Structure 1
Amino acid sequence: MYIQGVDFADTSIVITEPYFNFSSIQESMNEILFEEYQFQSVLRINSGSLSAHHYFHTKPSELCCLVVDSSFSFTHIAPYCRSKKLHEGIRRINVGGKLLTNHLKEIISYRQLHVMDETHVINQVKEDVCYVSQDFLRDMELAQMKGEENTLMRDYVLPDFSSIRKGFCKPREEMVLSGKYKTGEQILRLANERFAVPEMLFHPSDIGIQEMGIPEAIVHSVQALPEEMQPHFYQNIVLTGGNTLFPGFRERLEAELRSLVPAHLPVSILLPSNPVCYSWEGGKLLAHSPDYEEMVVTREEYEENGHCVCEDKFDI
């Protein structure tokens, strides 16, 4: 197969998949990549492994790191030592950006305007106005105040896809407290939604999801590891995924971890400049490393040995 100047038969591909992926899905991926597209070689790997590779490349003196990947569908916590993941410490929380967006759609539809079919628009609203509260109860009190005392309230102008291509948040000084704006602007007024939605990452039980929040899951993960290694993981926590971009996320996580982790253990959290592409950059580094050729499965190996050669090489 040949697409846009790329000959797959002479191309190697790095493709990510979730931790503990079903073997039936792994086999299907092998068949698609080797038999349908006929790639020259394939590396199936977890995105957290690519992030860990990036981290160890940046800090070669470190031996351990804990990757917290809070993305679209799930949040994964995975410990790595010398670039090898420690399966006993991997945790998954069934809360991700999709759930947050859907919850925001439900809140807005109940309180203001039916937006259940506007996933893309409300996802943009979430990214533009939501933040992680450092003091949830204090912010709830502020959000209930009237008029100018409510410093959390924001007005969001929805797109009409003709004159307004993309929604935007009105500057605080331009907000009209009477709620009357110029004709043609459709406004969402947001207050406690701004911080109540991202709060689900820390307390999923608030909306009936009986799971740990991210801070508790991190502690649960580290406590499953050998005691002498635990301080190294708390000192090398790496945040990846789009949800870590909420303002205040890193600070809130650090504060909650500090209250859960023994006082004599230091806690250090790295938020990369681009947490969304951090694992991709790790894959780019890995593809140029001298170890890459030893990690992949070639089409010849697959044709000779089938799926078992992939199971042996890929530690998923």
Structure 2
Amino acid sequence: MRTLILDNGSHAIKAGYSDSDHPILVPNTVTRTKRTKRVYVADLIDKSSDLSGLYYRSPFDRGYLVHWDAELAIWDRLLSDDVLGCRPTDTDLTLTEPVFNFPRIQQSMDEIVFEEYCFRSLIRAPAPKFSALNADVGGRMLTSYLKETVSFRYWDMMDETYIINAVKEKCCFVSQDFYRDLEIARKGRQSILAVDYVLPDFTNTKKGFIRGQDPDTESQMSDIQILPLCNERFAVPEALFHPMDVGLDQGGIHLAVVQAIMACEERLRPVMFSNIILVGGSAHIPGLQERLQAEVQALAPADGATVVVTLPDGPPAENAWRGARAVDIHESQDNDDGKPILREGPTGDWLGTFLGHKGAVWSAMLNADTSRAVTASADYTAKVWNAYTGEELVSLGHEQIVKSADFANDEATLVVTGGRDKMVRLFDIGSPNSPTTVLTHDVAIRSVKWSRHKQLAICAGEGNLIKLVDPRTSSVVKTLDAGSSVTSVSLTHDGKLLSCAAGNRVLAWDMDAFKVAKDVTMSYEVSVAAINPQRTRMVTGGRSDLLIRSCEYESGKELETHKGHHGPVHDACFSPDGEIYATGSEDGTVRLWQTSPGTAYGLWQLRKL
């Protein structure tokens, strides 16, 4: 399962999975061309060769989602295979909503998410209700104001929203002294503030630019059309601080910031004043950070409160998305108490707990003689432990969440790891700070297993491919294509048969010939699959029905069906003699089953998996 973070902005949607470093930006509009009357949904506008005279239809009105027919068309495009390739039934959704959102809009949003798209779950980002103020001035209003201004003074640009928005982003700035800059601008075309914006001709260029900044493109344009700008560059953004200039009877954003902080508890106000963060598309406007800090400082209490306005790392338009992503990663880390537990196989009796991880533990493996254990965690580490004493022997640092780890030799001195950083690494625990990068994958890695039989690392990423890598040469020996997204991989105890769950299929490969030994199609989607040492049975976990099935290896015929888990099943394995198999679930339990009677053999109740 994956989590999709969707920052549903009124101008652009910022969307991406929680394991992505950056979101994609998609226009949140349905656009129709003036000449051909052709309709473009979301990012398809990039395919239009003529961006003049576009008619925009936005799902939003004054910051609130009110036109669901338009939004549904945009979301259909966003979730399609051409953009995100999202399967809502297998995806959790984190969705932003505006401050003071109306209950009726929230209800419609819930119905669309669950009834129209069938997402697994939904988190609507909570809004601060009691210390928040809303100003009616934003990026879209500034674009409209600039359109009206230049249309009155120069060219009729009222139908050129796309072009004027680009003009705003490239030319406008926030003045630090409005009246001084206004005096400078009185010199007209001789003013240092005057610029000429070259309008696109949609033949040589689809985008405009400030004259003199792109001489190569300018030389190719035979007929240049200029939009002169001077005091418009700073007079339009001034509406952020003086909305009454554009007919809005309210205070500027600096007043809203101060009033919101003063609505908080008195002991929190100094901290609030020193931690003002600019987010959103308009935070790009040069000079806004410095001007806002000066205006807020002038209004702050005279008791020594220091005002600090900052821009976070990365594009300001992505900050809401990044915040939601951070929440999701934090939640994923909280899905486990970070304490791997060692229990006795036949009984499940507690033997000990390994203390040291600070995040969810995604995998745990023992070496051949069970003297050592290796764990992979959301705290960006893999750790090696003394299985008898619980002592942490070494911590192997990574740059992102580690999803899987396994010992790469019987002596348990080599460890192979993989995770969200898309790399398979080989660590020698004698020198843990100098790992060897065995493979750089193009997707995040779900599982890494070590084949003692072939002395190869088996890597399964978030895609169709399973790669077998020789760590001695850092080369891919073989690539196996499962045909659909792989959710789990498993080796038989002799290491000669590799099985995987992919969609509604269970595949097994002969590790000597690297050929498919078995390909069974099930009537349900499979989350995990494991084959017993005798190659007579396999056990599968249903991806959505949560059922455990014991099947004939040759035919895939169901022999027994068990219901016991109350959450998705993520792992399954057989004991060396094949008499017992274990299944691990998101419900916080590991269940043991006997192959012959088909009854629950034991239950290990974990705090959380």
Band of TM-score, shorter chain: 0.7 to 0.9
For residues 292 and 91 of structure 1, the distance between their equivalents in structure 2, rounded to whole angstroms, comes to 33
Alignment of 1:215 onto 2:259: no
Query: Please, which of 232, 236, 245 is the counterpart of residue 193 of structure 1?
Result: 232
User: CA offsets per residue over residues 135-159 of structure 1, 9 Å max, x none?
Assistant: 00010011111453x1000000000
Correspondences of 1:247-266 after superposition (within 5 Å):
247-263=286-302, 264-266=304-306
How many Å apart are 1:200 and its aligned residue?
A: 0.4
Query: Please, which of 238, 251, 270 is the counterpart of residue 310 of structure 2?
Result: 270
Which shows bigger deviation, 98-107 or 219-228?
219-228
Q: Structure 1 residues 113 and 166, CA, compared in 2 at 3 Å: closer, same or farther?
A: same
Q: Is the 8 A contact 1:286 1:292 kept in 2?
A: no
Give 5+ residue unaligned stretches, structure 2.
1-75, 216-220, 336-543, 546-609
Q: In the alignment, which residue of structure 1 is the partner of 2:131?
A: 89
Alignment of 1:285 onto 2:326: yes
Task: Give the secondary structure class of the aligned counterpart of 2:101.
Answer: coil
Q: Structure 1 residues 223 and 156, CA, compared in 2 at 3 Å: closer, same or farther?
A: same
Q: In the alignment, which residue of structure 1 is the partner of 2:158?
A: 116
Task: Give the secondary structure class of the aligned counterpart of 1:262.
Answer: coil
How many Å apart are 1:164 and its aligned residue?
A: 2.3
Query: Please, which of 126, 139, 161 is the counterpart of residue 202 of structure 2?
Result: 161
Q: Which has the higher contact order (CA 8 A, sep 6+)?
A: 1
Give 5+ residue unaligned stretches, structure 1.
50-84, 175-181, 301-316
For residues 244 and 211 of structure 2, the distance between their equivalents in structure 1, rounded to whole angstroms, comes to 32
Partner AA of 1:204 in structure 2: P
For residues 188 and 161 of structure 2, the distance between their equivalents in structure 1, rounded to whole angstroms, comes to 30
Alignment of 1:41 onto 2:121: yes
Partner AA of 1:240 in structure 2: V
Q: Is the 8 A contact 1:13 1:42 kept in 2?
A: yes
Alignment of 1:138 onto 2:163: no
More helix as a share of residues? 1
For residues 80 and 200 of structure 2, the distance between their equivalents in structure 1, rounded to whole angstroms, comes to 36
For the aligned residue pairs, the C-alpha RMSD in angstroms reads 2.5
Q: In the alignment, which residue of structure 2 is the partner of 1:232?
A: 271
Partner AA of 1:132 in structure 2: V
For residues 311 and 116 of structure 2, the distance between their equivalents in structure 1, rounded to whole angstroms, comes to 39
Q: In the alignment, which residue of structure 1 is the partner of 2:462?
A: none
Q: What's the TM-score, normalizing by structure 2?
A: 0.39
For residues 286 and 237 of structure 2, the distance between their equivalents in structure 1, rounded to whole angstroms, comes to 10
How many Å apart are 1:7 and its aligned residue?
A: 2.6
Count residues with an aligned counterpart.
250
How many Å apart are 1:191 and its aligned residue?
A: 0.4
For residues 198 and 103 of structure 1, the distance between their equivalents in structure 2, rounded to whole angstroms, comes to 9
User: CA offsets per residue over residues 50-80 of structure 1, 9 Å max, x none?
Assistant: xxxxxxxxxxxxxxxxxxxxxxxxxxxxxxx
Q: Structure 1 residues 89 and 291, CA, compared in 2 at 3 Å: closer, same or farther?
A: farther
For residues 89 and 6 of structure 1, the distance between their equivalents in structure 2, rounded to whole angstroms, comes to 36
For residues 146 and 278 of structure 1, the distance between their equivalents in structure 2, rounded to whole angstroms, comes to 38
How many Å apart are 1:293 and its aligned residue?
A: 8.3
How many Å apart are 1:20 and its aligned residue?
A: 2.1
Q: In the alignment, which residue of structure 1 is the partner of 2:98?
A: 18
How many Å apart are 1:19 and its aligned residue?
A: 1.7
Partner AA of 2:109 in structure 1: M
User: CA offsets per residue over residues 82-111 of structure 1, 9 Å max, x none?
Assistant: xxx3x2211000111111001100111101
How many Å apart are 1:183 and its aligned residue?
A: 5.0
For residues 198 and 225 of structure 2, the distance between their equivalents in structure 1, rounded to whole angstroms, comes to 6
How many Å apart are 1:248 and its aligned residue?
A: 0.5
Q: Is the 8 A contact 2:125 2:324 kept in 1?
A: no
Partner AA of 2:138 in structure 1: G
More strand as a share of residues? 2
Q: Structure 1 residues 114 and 197, CA, compared in 2 at 3 Å: closer, same or farther?
A: same
Partner AA of 2:233 in structure 1: R
For residues 3 and 249 of structure 1, the distance between their equivalents in structure 2, rounded to whole angstroms, comes to 37
For residues 7 and 228 of structure 1, the distance between their equivalents in structure 2, rounded to whole angstroms, comes to 46
- Percent of pairs with identical residues: 43
Runs of 4+ in structure 1 over 6 Å off: 291-294
Q: Structure 1 residues 147 and 128, CA, compared in 2 at 3 Å: closer, same or farther?
A: closer
For residues 141 and 290 of structure 1, the distance between their equivalents in structure 2, rounded to whole angstroms, comes to 54
Task: Give the secondary structure class of the aligned counterpart of 2:118.
Answer: coil
Q: In the alignment, which residue of structure 1 is the partner of 2:244?
A: 205
Q: What's the TM-score, normalizing by structure 1?
A: 0.74
Which shows bigger deviation, 153-162 or 258-267?
258-267
Task: Give the secondary structure class of the aligned counterpart of 1:288.
Answer: helix
Task: Give the secondary structure class of the aligned counterpart of 1:240.
Answer: coil
